[in-house]
Amino acid sequence: MADDAPSRLLAPGGRVVMISGASRGIGLAIARRLAGEGYRLSLGVRDPAAFDLSGFDAAATLVARFDAAEPETASAWVAATAERFGRIDGLINNAGILRQLDFETGDESVLDEVWAINVKAPFRLIRHALPHLSAAGNGRIINIASTDGKRYRPGVSIAYTMSKHAVVALTQAAKFAGWDQGVRATALCPGAVDTDLIASIPGVTPRADRIAPETLAETVSFLLCLPNSSSVAELVMNTRLEPSI
């Protein structure tokens, strides 16, 4: 159904949103936020049996197996979502990894692993979900990128930085692919977020200065309700003062 009121915020009721990597961290915070607002959710996790549904409406929540390293789980998850709810209105590509690699240390297997999880998996999900998002008339894609997708900072994994630049490009491509059908895509680019992903990295932003996952969840909620006439291609949320971002 097309948005017949271009300037009106979109209501959550009835809308179905897929979230990858929803078992913890940013993904879980987003899931909890959207559940509280009345969205119907399809949560992609590696171990559905271990997911705690406390606080979620079981009738409005599908917990499905999705492993970004296993290509066949992408199409299966999208198909299961469409079968359960009959529609898909939003896709949040959140699942990702960080592995250290620079020109002196590490080998290309690290780059292959990061590329497969951070870039190929979101591409695959968008490809499978796009027909459903287009049919919705106001489908939304939000890719969790990073400030490392906007510049290179010495000391940060080259593999991770390359992958997040690619996620920004992927978001632009998705925006063009679905624009005429009302699909809008955003690359959400946060600085250091207080999750396990960065906990063991030397020299990382001090915990007190990191972004809370709940802050990103609030931002995702805002982006999902914007009408087709208000496209946000990129949203950068930095934790530090830098001259360019």
Catalytic residues: 160
Nearest 5°: the CA angle 24, 96, 186 is: 100
Contacts of 208 (CB under 8 A, 6+ apart): none
Determine the straight-line distance between the first and last CA of the chain, rounded to whole angstroms. 37
Neighbours of 157 (CB within 10 A): 20
Distance CA 176, CA 135 (A): 16
137 in helix, strand or coil? coil
Are the beta carbons of 95 and 74 closer than 8 angstroms?
no
**CA distance to 32, 91, 96, 197, per residue, from 25 (Å):** 11, 17, 11, 9
Strands of the sheet with 61-65, listed across from one edge: 61-65, 40-45, 16-20, 90-93, 140-144, 184-190, 234-237
